[in-house]
């Protein structure tokens, strides 16, 4: 598909208008290569992120299959976001995608392989549970204007929300409100875990704001729920090195926290990664809107994007 044909297929609707950001689409100036242990399976995997062509967006390459980082391939899975195509699965994509979206790496090819097995599932390494390793790697290699296969640059478009939109599930919700710039507000509430309690955090989407306030916040879990999750075959690679762990009675088991409201900031990190799946043809994925999430999670985030796409959930 040519670039102009691609842009023409970005259909505005009552809900969304695709508008120029005033920026050109970008990609990486070189290749990133990182390997590490994964959270859910505990296996080691290696990721190489290569520069991509303008208009082609972000996609994974696994076992010679190409899987676009798009909501069309997102599947429900506990505790992480999974992309799935033709029986091949890539799990825990959200922290890498969050870093790429926030740093404006609009087009890239993400090659991933498991160093421990040849099976049809792979998982992105967890590192310290935050997006810091990806941000540092992107900073080191740098970014450049992306060119398409004919050597032309391309305008970066963004989806502007035209009217309020919400998704609800039990006592969780996400609301999108029209706004002239991206604003993100997340709330969490753990009344039975006093060290976490109720927290709110609000942020813009600017490069340095993400790096200063969001990127280094780590995944968190409740100690008393860990054994139950292990029993369900989850977080086999979980340790005190890749998550902050809070006990109902004893408080944080591996302090210090990087921010007093680190769990809530991590929800912002996840939300950016998940909503990046709305990106198309190298556009911004996160809607230009004030997005407010309360007790949200990966599956509600996916529902929100499906509603943005005009799909009833």
Only one of the segments 96-104, 192-200, 213-221, 297-305 lies at the binding site for Zn ion (rule: CB under 5 A); that segment is 213-221
Q: Among 270, 284, 287, 308, indicate the residue that binds Zn ion (CB under 5 A).
A: 270
Task: Give how many residues touch Zn ion by CB under 5 A.
Answer: 2
Q: Which residues inside 89-128 make contact with Zn ion, applying CB under 5 A?
A: none
Only one of the segments 9-17, 107-115, 181-189, 214-222 lies at the binding site for Zn ion (rule: CB under 5 A); that segment is 214-222
* Cα 295 to Cα 103: distance, rounded to the nearest angstrom: 26
Output the smallest distance, CB 22 to Zn ion, in A. Answer: 30
40 or 143: whose CB is closer to Zn ion? 40
Cα torsion angle, 44, 114, 71, 20, sign: positive
* Cα 173 to Cα 216: distance, rounded to the nearest angstrom: 25
Rg from Cα positions in the chain: 19
Nearest residue to Zn ion, scored by beta-carbon proximity: 270
The DSSP string of the chain is --HHHHHHTS---SSEEEEEEEEE-EEESS-EEEEEE-TTT--EEEEEEEE--TTS-EEEEETTEEEESSGGGEE--TTS-EEEETTEEEE--HHHHHHHHHTT--SEEEEEEESS--SSEEE---TTSSSHHHHHHHHHH-EEE---TTS---EEEEEEE-S-EEEEETTEEEEEEE-SS-EEEEEEEETT-TTTEEEEEEE---HHHHHHHTTTPPPEEEHHHHHHHHHTT--TT--TTSSEEEETTTEESSPPPSSTTHHHHHHHHHHHHHHGGG--TT---S-BEEEEEES--HHHHHHHHHHHTT---
* Cα 33 to Cα 30: distance, rounded to the nearest angstrom: 10
Only one of the segments 25-33, 155-163, 240-248, 264-272 lies at the binding site for Zn ion (rule: CB under 5 A); that segment is 264-272
Output the smallest distance, CB 270 to Zn ion, in A. Answer: 4
- The torsion angles phi and psi of 108, rounded to 5 degrees, stand at -170, 160
Only one of the segments 251-259, 270-278, 282-290, 297-305 lies at the binding site for Zn ion (rule: CB under 5 A); that segment is 270-278
51 or 237: whose CB is closer to Zn ion? 237
Only one of the segments 115-123, 151-159, 198-206, 263-271 lies at the binding site for Zn ion (rule: CB under 5 A); that segment is 263-271
Whether 112 and 35 have beta carbons less than 8 Å apart is answered as no
Output the smallest distance, CB 172 to Zn ion, in A. Answer: 16
Q: Which residues inside 215-234 make contact with Zn ion, applying CB under 5 A?
A: 219
Instruction: Give, in order, the Cα–Cα distances in Å from 25 to each of 9, 205, 279.
Output: 17, 17, 12
Output the smallest distance, CB 153 to Zn ion, in A. Answer: 33
Output the smallest distance, CB 80 to Zn ion, in A. Answer: 7
Output the smallest distance, CB 142 to Zn ion, in A. Answer: 26
Output the smallest distance, CB 149 to Zn ion, in A. Answer: 34
Only one of the segments 109-117, 161-169, 234-242, 265-273 lies at the binding site for Zn ion (rule: CB under 5 A); that segment is 265-273
Output the smallest distance, CB 20 to Zn ion, in A. Answer: 31
121 or 270: whose CB is closer to Zn ion? 270
Output the smallest distance, CB 79 to Zn ion, in A. Answer: 9
3 or 102: whose CB is closer to Zn ion? 102
Q: Which residues inside 3-32 make contact with Zn ion, applying CB under 5 A?
A: none
106 or 270: whose CB is closer to Zn ion? 270
6 or 124: whose CB is closer to Zn ion? 124
Residues in the site for Zn ion, rule: CB under 5 A? 219, 270
């Amino acid at each position: 598909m040519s670039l102009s044909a691609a842009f023409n297929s970005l259909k505005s609707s009552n809900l969304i208008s695709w508008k120029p950001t005033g920026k050109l689409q970008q990609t990486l100036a070189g290749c990133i290569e990182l390997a590490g242990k994964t959270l859910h399976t505990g296996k080691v995997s290696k990721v190489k992120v290569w520069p991509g062509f303008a208009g082609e967006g972000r996609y994974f390459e696994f076992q010679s299959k190409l899987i676009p980082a798009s909501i069309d391939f997102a599947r429900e899975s506990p505790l992480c976001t999974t992309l799935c195509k033709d029986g091949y699965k890539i799990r825990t994509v959200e922290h890498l995608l969050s870093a790429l979206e926030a740093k404006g790496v609009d087009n890239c090819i993400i090659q991933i392989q498991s160093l421990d097995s040849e099976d049809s599932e792979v998982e992105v390494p967890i590192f310290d549970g935050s997006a810091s390793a990806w941000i540092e790697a992107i900073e080191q290699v740098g970014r450049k204007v992306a060119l398409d296969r004919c050597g032309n640059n391309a305008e970066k478009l963004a989806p502007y929300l035209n009217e309020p939109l919400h998704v609800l599930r039990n006592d969780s919700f996400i609301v999108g409100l029209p706004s002239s710039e991206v604003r993100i507000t997340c709330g969490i509430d753990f009344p039975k875990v006093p060290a976490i309690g109720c927290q709110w955090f609000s942020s813009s989407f600017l490069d340095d704001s993400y790096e200063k306030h969001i990127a280094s916040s780590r995944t968190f879990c409740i100690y008393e729920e860990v054994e139950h999750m292990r029993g369900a075959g989850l977080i086999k690679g979980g340790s005190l090195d890749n998550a902050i762990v809070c006990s109902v009675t004893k408080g944080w088991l591996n302090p210090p926290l990087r921010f007093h409201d680190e769990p809530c900031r991590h929800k912002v990190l996840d939300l950016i990664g998940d909503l990046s799946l709305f990106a198309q043809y190298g556009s911004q994925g996160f809607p230009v809107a004030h997005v407010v999430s309360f007790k949200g999670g990966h599956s509600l985030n996916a529902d929100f994007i499906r509603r943005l796409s005009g799909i009833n959930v």
